[in-house]
Chain A
Amino acid sequence: MQWWTLFQKELIENVRNIKWIWVPLVMILLAIVDPLTNYFLPQIIDAAGGMPDGTEIQLPEYQPSDVVMMSLGQFNSLGVLVIALMSMGTIAGERKSGVAELILVKPVSYTNYITAKWASLSLLTLTSITLGMIASWYYINLLFGDLSFGALLQVVFFYGLWILLVVSISIFYNTLFKIPGLVAFLTFATVILMGVITSIFAHVLEWSPNNISNYIQQMLVTGSVPSDLIGASLVTLIMIVLLVGGSVFIFKTKDMAE
Chain B
Amino acid sequence: MEEINSINEIDWTDMLTVIVPMLVIQAILLIAAIIDLIRIERTNGPKWAWALVIVFINIIGPIIYFIFGRRND
Residues on A lying within 8 angstroms of B by beta carbon are 13, 17-19, 21-22, 25-26, 28-29, 32, 36, 39, 43, 82, 85-86, 89, 93-94, 97, 99, 135, 138-139, 142-143
Main secondary structure of the interface of A (DSSP, over half): helix
Residues of A within 8 A of B22 (CB): 29, 32, 36
Residues of B within 8 A of A89 (CB): 73
Q: B73–A43 contact, CB under 8 A?
A: no
Q: B70–A17 contact, CB under 8 A?
A: yes
Q: A97–B73 contact, CB under 8 A?
A: yes
* CB nearest to B26 among chain A residues: A29
Q: Render B52-66 as a binary contact track against A, CB cut-off 8 A, 1 for contact.
A: 000000010011001
Q: Which of B11, B17, B26, B32 contacts A18 (CB 8 A)?
A: B32
Number of A-B contacts (CB under 8 A): 47
Q: Render B26-58 as a binary contact track against A, CB cut-off 8 A, 1 for contact.
A: 101100110010000000000000000000000
Q: With an 8 A cutoff between CB atoms, is B72 at the interface?
A: yes
Bound-state Cα–Cα, A142 to B21, Å = 13
Q: B17–A22 contact, CB under 8 A?
A: no
Bound-state Cα–Cα, A129 to B26, Å = 17
Q: A25–B29 contact, CB under 8 A?
A: yes
Q: B32–A21 contact, CB under 8 A?
A: yes
Q: Which of B17, B28, B67, B72 contacts A21 (CB 8 A)?
A: B28
Q: A86–B67 contact, CB under 8 A?
A: yes
Q: Which of A22, A36, A93, A138 contacts B63 (CB 8 A)?
A: A22
What's the nearest-Cβ distance from chain A to residue B65, in Å? 9
Q: B11–A22 contact, CB under 8 A?
A: no
- Most chain B CB inside 10 Å of its own CB: which residue of A25, A85, A142: A25
Q: B28–A25 contact, CB under 8 A?
A: yes
Q: A22–B59 contact, CB under 8 A?
A: no
Q: Which of B28, B33, B73 contacts A99 (CB 8 A)?
A: B73
Q: A29-B59, A86-B67 are in contact. List 5 more A-B contacts (CB 8 A).
A: A25-B29, A29-B26, A32-B22, A36-B22, A94-B73
Given that A29-B59, A43-B11 are known contacts, is A143 also in contact with B18, CB under 8 Å in the complex? Answer: yes
Given that A22-B66, A43-B11, A142-B17 are known contacts, is A29 also in contact with B32, CB under 8 Å in the complex? Answer: no
